[in-house]
A and B are shown apart, each in its own frame.
Chain A
Amino acid sequence: MTLDSLLLVSAALFAIGLAGALLRRNAILVLVGIELMLNAANLNFIAFWRFSAHPEAFTGVLFLLFSIAVAAAEAAVGLALIIAIHRHYKTANVDRIDRMKG
């Protein structure tokens, strides 16, 4: 597999995640779309690490590990927010959560 094909896979994942985040009504699936976009960025880390001049330095792998940790924290806080919003508004539909709309 060449570098550009891996980057194309990553771009496709990013576009799918973006489409999901824009199209889906359920807040959980919006978060899933955002997670997929994050994963596309993680794939870029690994791809550029694998095809770099010095892959024995493990820079991309370590960056990916830290990125996964940050994404896990983001997922935990995001889902807690969705549960709190659902308790307050009795819905997780992002179209209905519009109290701050002018």
Chain B
Amino acid sequence: MNFALPAFFAALSIAGAVAALSLRNLVHCALALVLAFAGLGGLYVALGAQFAGLAQILVYSGAVAILIVFAVLLVRERDEEQRHPIRWGNSLSGIAVAVLVFIAIARILTSDSSLHRAAPAAPSATIRDIGTMMMGADILPLEIIGLLLTAAMLGAVILALRERNAVKS
């Protein structure tokens, strides 16, 4: 498998993730998040999962990013909170936890030599095959996902509705 393309997309998504969680302006964070999600989608395509990459770009870079931008527009922060967006007081412990988690996973991954292997020949993952599987063997999960998405949509609408006796702001 060609090495350069997956490595480029992996670097893109990691850079986007770092930017999304470290920038000060929330809209910049959302844009960097689009970059991270698009990088992951490109990585999926480069690994031979074209449909998964397209779904990633449609759902994450499209829908979820737009949702986050709308939430950023609706949720306005006070100025004093914008000046201190990161909890530096307990930042050390937070960074330490994240670094420890990464080191723990990385040690496990590098200690197992069976994981250091090259990819087998790329499968011909056509969208037709995926559709056949979804409508055949995996029809029950598909229906449950439909139910879950409907329930989540109704729940989100009910949660975001104005409270009945809320004070008018």
Known contacts A1-B1, A11-B105, A50-B119, A64 near B67 by CB under 8 Å: no
- Secondary structure of the B contact surface, majority rule: helix
Q: Is B79 an interface residue (CB 8 A)?
A: no
Pick from B64, B118, B134, B141: contact of A72, CB below 8 A. B64
A7 near B115 with CB under 8 A, answer yes
Contact among A3, A53, A70, A79 for B148, CB-based, below 8 A:
A70
Question: Which residue on A lies nearest to B153, using beta carbons?
Answer: A76
Residues in B61-87 with C-beta less than 8 Å from chain A: 63-64, 67-68, 70-72, 74-75, 77-78, 81, 84-87
Q: Kindly list chain A residues whose C-beta atoms are within 8 Å of the C-beta of B35.
A: none
Tally of chain B residues near chain A (CB < 8 A)? 90
User: Which of A33, A51, A75 contacts B21, CB < 8 Å?
Assistant: A33
Contact pattern, B 93-134, Cβ under 8 Å of A = 1, otherwise 0:
111011101100110011010011111101111000110011
Given contacts A83-B160, A86-B74, are A72 and B59 in contact (CB under 8 A)?
yes
Given contacts A2-B116, A39-B37, A79-B71, whether A32 and B20 have CB atoms under 8 Å apart is yes
Write the A32-49 contact mask toward B (1 if CB under 8 angstroms, else 0). Answer: 110110010011001101
Q: Could you tell me the distance in whole angstroms from the C-beta of B94 to the nearest C-beta in chain A? A: 4
- Distance of A54 Cα from B83 Cα, bound (Å): 52
CB within 8 Å of B: which A49-102 residues: 49-51, 53, 55-56, 58, 60-62, 64-66, 68-77, 79-84, 86-88, 90-93, 95
What 9 A-B pairs have minimum CB-CB distances, sorted nearest first?
A20-B21, A73-B152, A22-B94, A19-B98, A15-B102, A80-B156, A80-B159, A11-B105, A55-B123
Residues of A within 8 A of B (CB): 1-4, 6-9, 11-20, 22-29, 31-33, 35-36, 39, 42-43, 46-47, 49-51, 53, 55-56, 58, 60-62, 64-66, 68-77, 79-84, 86-88, 90-93, 95
22 contacts between A and B (CB under 8 A): A15-B105, A22-B94, A23-B95, A24-B85, A26-B26, A27-B75, A28-B71, A33-B21, A36-B36, A39-B40, A46-B49, A55-B122, A58-B123, A58-B130, A64-B52, A65-B130, A68-B55, A72-B64, A76-B67, A79-B156, A83-B74, A91-B81
